[in-house]
Structure 1
Amino acid sequence: MVFYFESAIASPPVTLFMGLDKYENEDLIKWGWPEDVWFHVDKVSSAHVYLRLRPGQTIDDIPSAVLEDAAQLVKANSIMGNKMNDVDVVYTMWSNLKKTQGMEVGQVAFHKEKEVRKIKVTKRINEIVNRLNKTKKEEQVDFRAEREKRDRLEREDKKKLLRDEQEKKKELEKKKKEEAELRGYNTLMSSENMSKYDDGNDSDDFM
């Protein structure tokens, strides 16, 4: 089961989502998307909240209000974190999550610590949490199927892009060939005209 929340604080609205428990968090870790940004309360147990970036968007493009929504949602879904003030919420791209043998279910580390960012959450803001909870929806999701579908569409897009580039290259080569043939034809016509009007007599003497 996946819980979806809509953050309408931005335009267009942004969807935040999280798994039901640590076992679904494990599936989200395994079958996440390269476009996913992961959020978690630092150093204490909490839900794993994700934000899926739009095509072309980067982690730097996330509006500050959306980051605050995600941080408040993470804090509200942490038993310890929800009781604490001045907590840090860490976030990073899904691709930076690291899973090794021996780790507990739902536990992660990072490939690059320098790519992990932090948001300071001074206290829980009920206005934000209540607004997000009003948009809450539950859905049963096949994480693997969704990821495989995403990858298939990406491969198809890349193939189409490659075909388009090859067609453009062929058209360009065809145009260059036609232009070269036209230049050769014009040169030939110019040479024939010179021969036609040249009588072979260079003398200016008409006598």
Structure 2
Amino acid sequence: MVFYFKARPEAGDYIIFMGLDKYENEELIKYGFPEDIWFHVDKMSSAHVYVRLQKGQTIDDISEGLLEDCAHLVKANSIQGNKVNNVDVVYTPWSNLKKTPSMDAGQVGFHNSKMVRTVRVEKRINEIVNRLNKTKVERKPDLKAEREDTNAAERAARKQQLREKKRQEELQRLEKEKQAEIRSYKGLVVSEKMTSNKQIASTSKSLQDLEEDFM
């Protein structure tokens, strides 16, 4: 089971989501998207919360309002973190999550600690948590299929881009050949290289001269 929440409207059309337990967390870790940003309460047990950014966006594009929604949601879903103030929430791109065979279900590390950021949540703000909970939707998605479908669509898009690139290159090649042919033809017909009828007549013997030579 995965829970989905809508971020505040003024932040944009963003979906925040988290797994029901550590097993769903494993699926989310395994089949995440490059646009996913992962959130967790630092040094405490908590839910794994994600927000999926728009294509082309990075962690630097997270607005203050969206960050606040994600941080409060992950704090509210930490048994220990929900009871105390001044909780640190860490967040990083999904691609930075590191999973090794020796780790327990739901446990992760980081490939690069410099890519991990921290935001402080001073205290729970019920207005934020309640607003998010009102948008909560439960689904049982096939995360593997979703990831495979997206991969297939991306491969098809790349192939189409490659075909279009080759088509443009072929059109450019044909145009260059056409222009080269035109320049070559012009070189053949320039006036300096042509002989007029008058010039031919001046250098040719008359019919009478030819007859006399023959005789």
Q: How far apart, in 1, do the equivalents of 2:151 and 2:95 lie?
A: 15
Q: Which residue of 1 aligns with 2:211?
A: none
Q: Which moved more, 1:74-83 or 1:185-194?
A: 185-194
Which position in structure 2 is the counterpart of 1:4? 4
Contact 2:8 2:69 in 1 (8 A): no
Maintained 8 Å contact 1:19/1:48? yes
Q: Matches of 1:140 and 1:13 in 2, distance apart?
A: 21
Identity %: 57
Query: Structure 1 pair 196/72, CA: closer, same or farther in 2 (3 Å)?
Result: farther
TM-score by length of 1: 0.91
Alignment partner, residue 125 of structure 2: 125
Larger Rg: 2
User: Residues 31-62 of structure 1: CA distance to partner in whole angstroms, max 9, x if unpaired?
Assistant: 11122110111110111111112111111111
Give the match's secondary structure for 1:150. Answer: helix
How does 1:56-75 map onto structure 2 within 5 Å? Answer: 56-75=56-75
Paired with 1:136 and 1:191, the residues of 2 have a C-alpha distance of 83
Richer in helix (by share): 2
SS of alignment partner, residue 106 of structure 2:
coil
Deviation beyond 6 Å, 4+ runs, structure 1: none
Please say if residues 11 and 63 of structure 2, whose CA atoms lie closer than 8 Å, have aligned partners that are also in contact.
Answer: no
1:10–1:63 contact (8 Å) kept in structure 2:
no
2:19 equivalent to 1:16:
no
Task: Tell me how far apart the structure 2 counterparts of residues 193 and 144 of structure 1 sit (CA, whole Å).
Answer: 73
Query: Gaps (5+ residues) in structure 1?
Result: 202-207
SS in 1 for 2:174: helix
Q: Which runs of 5+ in 2 are unaligned?
A: 203-215
> Is contact 1:9–1:65 with CA below 8 Å preserved after alignment?
no
Give the TM-score taking structure 2 as reference length: 0.88
Q: How many Å separate the matches in 2 of 1:146 and 1:68?
A: 28
Q: What do residues 6-37 of structure 1 show as CA deviations (whole Å, max 9, x unaligned)?
A: 01343532110111111100111111112211
1:189 matched residue in structure 2: 189
Aligned residue in 1 for 2:207: none
The answer to whether the Cα contact below 8 Å between 2:11 and 2:65 also exists between their aligned partners in 1 is: no
1:134 corresponding residue in structure 2? 134
**1:4 positional shift:** 0.5
